[in-house]
Structure 1
Amino acid sequence: MPSIYQLKPAFQRLLRPAVRALAQRGVTANAVTLLAAGLSVAVGTCIAAWPGEAWPLLLLPLFLFVRMALNAIDGMLARDHAMQSRLGAVLNELGDVVSDAALYLPLALVPGLPPALLVAIVALAIISEMAGVIALQVGARRRYDGPMGKSDRAVAFGALGLWLGLGGPTGTWLTVLLAVVALLAGLTIFNRSREALHEGGCS
């Protein structure tokens, strides 16, 4: 199913000169992974500390773009510059779920947003990443199927942060949109599980 993740190759081409420069300066893939997670926690802490202020919400879409770049950079450093390691694989997967939780859970404190629904979306996001990783255990590749993968979530929550940060009104319509995000996250879990079983030759 279509996902923004499919745009990743074009994004990586734009970042390749910067990746080469970082590798030449001795920057490691694991350092970039840890930086992305640390900054995610910092931004999420700002949202949690000032849930009624506009600036942390406006910071969210800006940082989500930076985070997508950092995620692409750490992968390219690992693959293209011989930095792949078991530790890196663990940090990459854990870093993604920690970052998602740190960035999106604090939105449950923002006035006008449905807390239970936001918590459910974060839980479904973590399960969807688990479904992608479990594919490896049944003989398939790591699954990144959509329609609500990591990049899609970043766009959805980035747009939400921008809307609220600019003073956009909340209401029932926003709850409905978040419910759609939750449904798409559930569909992502199903798609990743199904494709993993199919690719792994399981019934």
Structure 2
Amino acid sequence: MISVYQLKPKFQQLLRPLTNGLAKAGITANQVTVFAMLLSIATGAVVVWQQSLVWFYLLPVVLFVRMALNAIDGMLAREHNQKSKLGAYLNELGDVVSDVALLLPLFMVPNISPWFIGAFIFMAVLVEFVGVIAPMVGKERQYQGPMGKSDRALVLGLLGIVLPLWPAVSSYLNYVLMGVVALSVLTMINRIKAAL
């Protein structure tokens, strides 16, 4: 099923010169992973602290930077012999922590049910958890869509643009979140089926 994740190889090609430069400068994959996580936490905290939808404009910018950093840390690990057990933990934990940190500002948006936001966050964690379990049954880590990490980033990035421009849209976001949760359930099923 189609997913933004399928664009990753082309994105990596664009980032390869930068990645090679970082490797020559002594920057490690784990440092990039931790920086991406801290950037996400700081962004989520700032948006919540400011209590203004205008600060949602930060989300698409930071989500794009985070996507680039995630691609870079993977290339550093694979192409520059930086794979490590600690890196595997940091990569998976960093993704989940970053997702939660960047989704928390949705709680301050008027007219959105906190139950739907909570379900979105819960399913984001569960989808990644299901993907990580695959190696335990002898398969590779699963990344199927239609609502994987990159797809959630796209949805949240679009909300970061739309909400400050048209706050009235928040009245319809419960339906959007219902759709995202449903797609997350489908993603979980796809990942389980692929691993089995």
TM-score tier after normalising by the smaller chain length: over 0.9
State the partner residue of 2:168.
169
State the partner residue of 1:16.
16
In the alignment, the residues of structure 2 paired with residue 110 and residue 175 of structure 1 have an alpha-carbon distance, to the nearest angstrom, of 11
- Indicate whether 1:32 and 2:37 are aligned: no
State the partner residue of 1:132.
131
Q: CA deviation at 1:46?
A: 1.1
State the partner residue of 1:5.
5
Deviation above 3 Å: which 4+ runs of structure 1?
Answer: none
State the partner residue of 2:122.
123
The sequence identity of aligned pairs, in percent, is 53
What is the aligned residue count?
196
Q: CA deviation at 1:105?
A: 1.8
Q: CA deviation at 1:17?
A: 0.2
Q: CA deviation at 1:106?
A: 2.3
Task: Give the conservation status (yes or no) of the 8 Å contact 1:43–1:59.
Answer: yes
State the partner residue of 1:160.
159
Q: CA deviation at 1:52?
A: 2.6
Partner SS for 2:26? coil
In the alignment, the residues of structure 1 paired with residue 144 and residue 33 of structure 2 have an alpha-carbon distance, to the nearest angstrom, of 22
Task: Give the conservation status (yes or no) of the 8 Å contact 1:112–1:170.
Answer: no
Q: CA deviation at 1:171?
A: 4.6
What runs of 5+ residues in structure 1 fail to find an aligned partner?
A: 198-203
Task: Give the conservation status (yes or no) of the 8 Å contact 1:47–1:107.
Answer: no
Q: Which amino acid aligns with 1:11?
A: F
Q: Give me the CA root mean square deviation.
A: 1.1
Deviation per CA, 1:78-129: give whole Å up to 9, x if none: 0000000000000000000000001102211222322211111010010000
In the alignment, the residues of structure 2 paired with residue 53 and residue 173 of structure 1 have an alpha-carbon distance, to the nearest angstrom, of 16
Q: When the two structures are superposed, what TM-score results if normalisation uses the length of structure 1?
A: 0.93
State the partner residue of 2:99.
100
State the partner residue of 1:196.
195
Q: CA deviation at 1:152?
A: 0.2
Question: 1:11-90, aligned counterparts within 5 Å?
Answer: 11-54=11-54, 56-90=55-89
Q: When the two structures are superposed, what TM-score results if normalisation uses the length of structure 2?
A: 0.97
Deviation per CA, 1:41-83: give whole Å up to 9, x if none: 00000121123341x2000011100000000000000000000
Structure (1 or 2) with the greater helix fraction: 2
What runs of 5+ residues in structure 2 fail to find an aligned partner?
A: none
In the alignment, the residues of structure 2 paired with residue 22 and residue 159 of structure 1 have an alpha-carbon distance, to the nearest angstrom, of 30
State the partner residue of 1:181.
180
Question: 1:139-158, aligned counterparts within 5 Å?
Answer: 139-158=138-157
Task: Give the conservation status (yes or no) of the 8 Å contact 1:128–1:189.
Answer: yes
Task: Give the conservation status (yes or no) of the 8 Å contact 1:51–1:107.
Answer: no
Q: Which amino acid aligns with 1:139?
A: G
Partner SS for 2:192? helix
